[in-house]
Structure 1
Amino acid sequence: MNVYDEAHKLNQAIKESEEYKQYQAVKEKIKGNTQLEQTLNDFKTKQISMQAQQMMEGQMNQEAMAQIQQLSMVLMQDPLAAEYLQCEMRFSLMINDVYQILSEVIDLGLGGVLGGKQND
């Protein structure tokens, strides 16, 4: 078994998944709707910023969280935006599951080198 061949098969399997196809289809529907694209990009930027801040500081900015929740409520009123967010979430969950599976080997065995528990 060639790891590179298997990685290409995984790539193809992801592209053939319903989650990916639906996500791509709804992204195409949004193209050209400049206002919706900008609102979704603003929403994502705020989400990422809040997550980064939470990781660095260990806590959430309540004001930023309120802004994201408010923007989310506005977006969910738009059927196309709601469909996009739902498809994006399903696709992200699938990718996260795949990443979790891969992360079992991505450790690179540094646990024993850095003084942690060594996996055999």
Structure 2
Amino acid sequence: QVGQTPWLAWLRYARVRWLALRGETALAQEVKAARTAAAERGLTGLVAQIDRFEQPDGPALTRREQEVLDLAAAGASAKEIAERLVIGERTVETHLANIYRKLGVRSRVELVAYLRDGRGGM
């Protein structure tokens, strides 16, 4: 299928980027489909771009959720995270709630255990 019209591969790549920005949990399936479409068409550069979205060790977090997670894992309070990221404290709490939901934990203590046990792949 090398040489086929690349539009399908590029469309799938656009969907992967959109899902990643939204922090969608269906990202892994879309990454696989996009990678296959690009590889079948010989689009090696696009395959490399798609591979950046692959997250085999867990659910996709948004960039901001990852920043909040990193600071929370380092022991920063919600207030400290808010000050550091120049966002509201309530926004931090919302990000933490989303992180807990995506990782299947209920508290900071469980979050730290999740990361310590290596389930977070970090």
TM-score (norm 2): 0.30
TM-score (norm 1): 0.30
Higher-helix-fraction structure: 1
